[in-house]
A and B are shown apart, each in its own frame.
Chain A
């Protein structure tokens, strides 16, 4: 089982992200992690990576306790500010993660070099990698970072808001690429987003976070008025229009009009 939480209580900065939560992510499944900003999507991923210990309960990754530096996990952190390496060539940045934790001179072994070539090739970013990161569009940069997350052939991908700051066309491209890779490489994927609609077509299940609780299930099971109302502790309506889903609290949409932050 890629990820299993049992009885987990997780707090961050004085806020309770999860309270006695338990759920499991299955092999080869694409799970959308949803919830408004501050719901704890990033915190949950950091806990799965072993960067943060739960106050109570346990988190297991492929049957073993969550631990820092687990090679079975590929990670793409949320981009909070302009990355430091904008001047650097894409290839250099991607390759920096191959054995990047190991002491020694900067530089990369022949085996790692082949691994980087494989990862770039599989996301069709080999040509992009020759250019400095700062010259790439947001979508192109995400493709390179996705290649980087695939280094070492992980079986679980944690992608933290890969759609943030992309226009709809590029959002669609990233979602389609991740879905294709997930099926081809038989990966379990946790894909966080604060809007459901761009990922709707690719999802196997959704994990909604809010109010210290988590609700995991298919879209039809979870994205309903009663479940979300319970999660957010407020009256929530869900409307489906033309294959898109709108989550509304009173008169305001929660799930769609979240463009800020």
Chain B
């Protein structure tokens, strides 16, 4: 399987992106910001197709728009809460614009599917290197802010009193999420980013109450699901994106069921 060049590229890209997505997603889930990953990928779609229009690789347009969106969301912060309708309109407008841009380039009709649902088997060696650079940058930034981010995510008022700048931290984190989102789109596409970024992290938080283990588990699950999806796609000829979302969903479901069983066996005191 691996002596096909495209499969080797796909495995490398999937590994890089899934580890990044799993780790970033852990914080995203902890902060209750999972919607941000979803929103940023939609905003990125118009950027990606716009880039195609200008003859630039879609990844750069995608990056530009997700970063702009992430920083804007971070700066607006609380003011975005309870603005579901406004956010929804911006997101659908972005998808619509993306389709309009694609419309001008009929030759790129397959680009639409690739961007919306991912085309991991079409990843080039050059893209793998770009993804690696992106992931290293994001993970370095995440490593730098990891501790205060964790503190601020769980206990914002206390962290603020201890001298953590919540706003700056929030913006920095959403910028990292933006990079991770753009990377995820290369594997599973705009519409399925949730599967790689949120699924494994949420599963990990179901399975362990420890932060260190949770982070490792989120990255490990994301990697297993992404690679598992590739292997299944190779042998069934069904799309890799389908398999990855299926594995992600199945893992979450299983983890929830296991938790429910534990609860049934060991009754918990009601959290007053």
Contacts and interface: CB of A to CB of B under 8 A. Distances in A.
A138 B272 contact: yes
A77 to B, nearest CB: 4
A106 B209 contact: no
A135 B271 contact: yes
A103 B158 contact: no
Contacts of A76: 158
A75 B158 contact: yes
A136 interface: yes
A93 B156 CA distance: 12
Interface string B146-165: 11101101110111111110
B147 A100 contact: yes
Given A83-B155, A105-B147, A134-B271, A100 B211 contact: no
Contacts of A73: 161
Contacts of B30: 84-85
Contacts of A217: none
Contact of B209 (A92, A104, A167): A92
A166 B161 CA distance: 25
A107 B147 contact: yes
B161 A49 contact: yes
A96 B155 contact: yes
Interface residues of A, number: 43
A105 B145 CA distance: 7
A136 B269 CA distance: 7
Contacts of A137: 269-272
B79 interface: no
Contacts, number: 114
Given A100-B148, A103-B148, A132-B209, A165 B272 contact: yes
Contacts of A38: none
Interface string B210-228: 1110010000000000000
Contact of A93 (B155, B205, B268): B155
A88 B211 contact: yes
Interface string B129-145: 00000000000000111
A176 interface: no
A202 B236 CA distance: 71
B45 to A, nearest CB: 30
A26 interface: no
A166 B154 contact: no
Contacts of A77: 155, 157-158, 161
B154 A88 contact: yes
Interface in A51-89: 51, 68-69, 73, 75-78, 83-89
A93 B163 contact: no
Nearest to A102: B147
Contacts of B157: 77-78
B243 to A, nearest CB: 28
A177 B272 CA distance: 19
User: Is the interface on chain B under 10, 10 to 19, 20 to 34, or 35 or more residues?
Assistant: 20 to 34
A69 B162 CA distance: 4
A93 B158 CA distance: 12
B146 A102 contact: no
B32 interface: yes
Contacts of B162: 68-69, 75, 97, 100-101
Given A68-B161, A106-B146, A106-B212, A85 B155 contact: yes
Contact of A101 (B164, B209, B268, B269): B164
A92 B160 CA distance: 18
B165 to A, nearest CB: 9
B25 to A, nearest CB: 14
A51 B209 contact: no
Nearest to B270: A137
B137 to A, nearest CB: 16
B33 to A, nearest CB: 10
Interface in A159-175: 165-167
B161 A96 contact: no
Contact of A89 (B147, B151, B206, B210): B210
A77 B161 CA distance: 9
A76 B155 CA distance: 10
Contacts of B205: 87
Contact of A86 (B153, B160, B271): B271
B150 A100 contact: yes
Given A100-B162, A106-B212, A166 B272 contact: yes
B147 A51 contact: no
A229 interface: no
**5 closest cross-chain pairs (CB), A and B:** A69-B163, A100-B151, A138-B272, A77-B157, A85-B154
14 contacts: A51-B161, A68-B163, A84-B31, A86-B271, A93-B154, A97-B162, A101-B164, A102-B148, A103-B148, A104-B147, A105-B146, A106-B146, A106-B215, A134-B271
